């Protein structure tokens, strides 16, 4: 099946710094990628939809200026958590659609962010 690679898998950063998370579709082109946040023992919460070559669409309540999303190519989307605070600590997961099939969404391995 299609592979979505997310990096890094774990990151620890200090409060006030920024962290970038990369999401790559390895064997297909992804016009649309999704970014989720997941708290322990909870479901995935959609943060934003990233569209190649255009601005991301953010879900209600998600701060655009804190969670910067860039989808510069058909295989790469990045999520930058700016001026991170401890409450931003969470598990972030990306998902990409296979442009060819148009059906399935494949998920990355997730990134565990800890802000200290």
Q: Which residues contact other proteins (rule: CB under 8 A)? A: 1, 4, 6, 32, 34, 41-44, 46, 49, 91, 93, 95, 97, 102-110, 112
Q: Strand pairing of 4-7 and 19-25?
A: antiparallel
**CB of 15 closer than 8 Å to CB of 89:** no
User: Which C-beta is closer to other proteins: that of 67 or that of 108?
Assistant: 108
User: Which C-beta is closer to other proteins: that of 63 or that of 104?
Assistant: 104
| Cα separation, 60 vs 28, whole angstroms | 29
3-state secondary structure of 13: strand
* Least gap, CB of 83 to other proteins (angstroms): 26
* Least gap, CB of 38 to other proteins (angstroms): 9
* Least gap, CB of 32 to other proteins (angstroms): 5
């Amino acid at each position: 099946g299609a592979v979505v690679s997310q990096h890094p898998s774990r990151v620890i950063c200090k409060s006030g710094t920024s962290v970038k998370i990369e999401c790559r579709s390895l064997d297909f082109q992804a016009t649309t990628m999704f970014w989720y946040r997941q708290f322990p023992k909870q479901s995935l919460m959609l943060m934003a939809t990233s569209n190649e070559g255009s601005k991301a669409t953010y879900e209600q309540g998600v701060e655009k200026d804190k969670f910067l999303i860039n989808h510069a190519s058909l295989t790469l989307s990045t999520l930058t958590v700016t001026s991170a605070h401890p409450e931003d600590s969470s598990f972030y997961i990306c998902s990409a659609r296979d442009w060819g099939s148009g059906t399935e969404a494949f998920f990355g391995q997730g990134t565990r962010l800890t802000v200290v």
